Amino acid sequence: MTKLPPLNALRIFEAVARLQSFTKAADTLYLTQSAVSHQVRNLEEHFGFPLLVRSQRGITLTPEGATLQHGLHEAIQKISETCEQLNQRQHSIRIKSPPSIAVRWLVPQLQNFKEQFPDLDISVSTVWEEKPAFDWGLFDMAIQYGDGNWPGVSVQLLHQEVLTPVAAPSLLGGALTLSEDALAQYPLIHTSRDRHDWQLWLAAPWPKGQKELLFDADVMGIEAARHGLGIALVDPLIVQDALRDGSLVTPCPRSVRSGKGYYLVLPPHDRHLRRVQPLVQWLQQAI
C-alpha cells in the first residue's frame, strides 16, 4: 500500500490550489504564510515533483498538482457529505417493521409522536421476513413479529398476539354475532400460507368442505374481510380503525393467543440508545 503524505499538508495544499493564493489559504486556515509554504514544500518533497509554479502573477498548478487538487476536492466533498449524513442521523430514527403492524398501527400513530418530539424524523421500512436479519447499518431499531428468540440482540415484548375473527357487517347479513358452528357457512380467510391460525382457533380438525381464501400477508387478508369476502382471523390491534368505524366487527367473542407477538429489537450495543430512547418509551406506552 502506498504511504500517504501528511493529511494536514494535503488539506493545506487543497486550500492553496482552490484559492490560487498562499496568502488567502493562510488567512482561511488561520496559519502564517510561511507555515503554508512549508507544508506545500513538504508535500512536493514527498511526491518528488513540483505541484505548483510560483510567479509574480500568482501560482499555477502543474499537471500533477491539478490531478491532486481534483482528487482532494472530490474526497473532501465526500467526507463533508458523510459528516452531514451523520449529523442528520442524530435527529432521525430508522425503523424496520412488518407491513401489517407498520401500515395498520404504527403509521396512524406517528402523528402523536411527532407532536411530542417535533425535532425527530422517523423513517419506516416494511419488510416481511420469516427469518429476521438485523442489519444495524440500515436501521436503528426493528419491530419484529415472532417468538422473540433472536440471539445477539436486545429484545423487548411490545404486544402478545391475540387472534379474533373479524368480518364485514355486510357479509353477516345484519347478524351481530355468530356461533362457532355457523362459521362453516362463510369462507375463512387465511393470512398465512400454513393455515395455522384458524386451526389453532378452531382447536379441531379442519371442517370438511370448508370454503377458504388464502393470502400471504395480514394486510391483504384484512382488506379481503373489509370487502366482505370472508371472515379473517387477526389481532384486534391491527384493525383498531376498522372496528371503530364499523367496517369490521367481531362476530365470535372467543380469542386465542398465538404464542407469538410483536417485539421491539435493538442492537446489542448501546451506542444509539440515548437517541432512540424517546421512541422506545413512546412505543411501549402507545401500544
Q: So what's the pLDDT on residue 280?
A: 87
Q: So what's the pLDDT on residue 284?
A: 87
CATH code of the domain in which 180 resides: 3.40.190.10
d(CA 101, CA 219): 9
Assess if residue 255 is contained within a domain: yes
Q: So what's the pLDDT on residue 171?
A: 93
Q: So what's the pLDDT on residue 139?
A: 85
Assess if residue 282 is contained within a domain: no
Assess if residue 248 is contained within a domain: yes
Assess if residue 102 is contained within a domain: no
Enclosing domain of residue 25: 7-89
In the listed set 63, 89, 115, which residue is the last one of a domain according to the structure? 89
d(CA 282, CA 261): 18
Whole-number average pLDDT of the chain: 86
Q: So what's the pLDDT on residue 89?
A: 55
Its pTM surpasses 0.75: no
Assess if residue 49 is contained within a domain: yes
Assess if residue 104 is contained within a domain: no
Instruction: Summarize the confidence of residues 138-156 as an average pLDDT.
Output: 90
Q: Which amino acid is at 40?
A: V
Instruction: Summarize the confidence of residues 185-214 as an average pLDDT.
Output: 86
Assess if residue 119 is contained within a domain: no
- Residue 158 phi, psi dihedral angles, 5° rounding: -95, -45
CATH code of the domain in which 45 resides: 1.10.10.10
Minimum mean pLDDT range among 75-89, 92-106, 145-159, 265-279: 75-89
What's the structural domain count of the chain? 2
56-70, 84-98, 218-232 — most confident range: 218-232
Residue 165 and residue 79 share a domain: no
d(CA 255, CA 171): 20
| First-to-last C-alpha distance (Å) of the chain | 54
In the listed set 56, 89, 122, which residue is the last one of a domain according to the structure? 89
Q: So what's the pLDDT on residue 131?
A: 75
Instruction: Summarize the confidence of residues 149-160 as an average pLDDT.
Output: 92
Assess if residue 128 is contained within a domain: no
In the listed set 89, 124, 141, which residue is the last one of a domain according to the structure? 89
Instruction: Summarize the confidence of residues 8-12 as an average pLDDT.
Output: 87
pLDDT-derived band at 93 (thresholds 50, 70, 90) equals: confident
Is residue 57 predicted with pLDDT exceeding 80? no
The alpha-carbon radius of gyration of the chain (Å, integer) is: 31
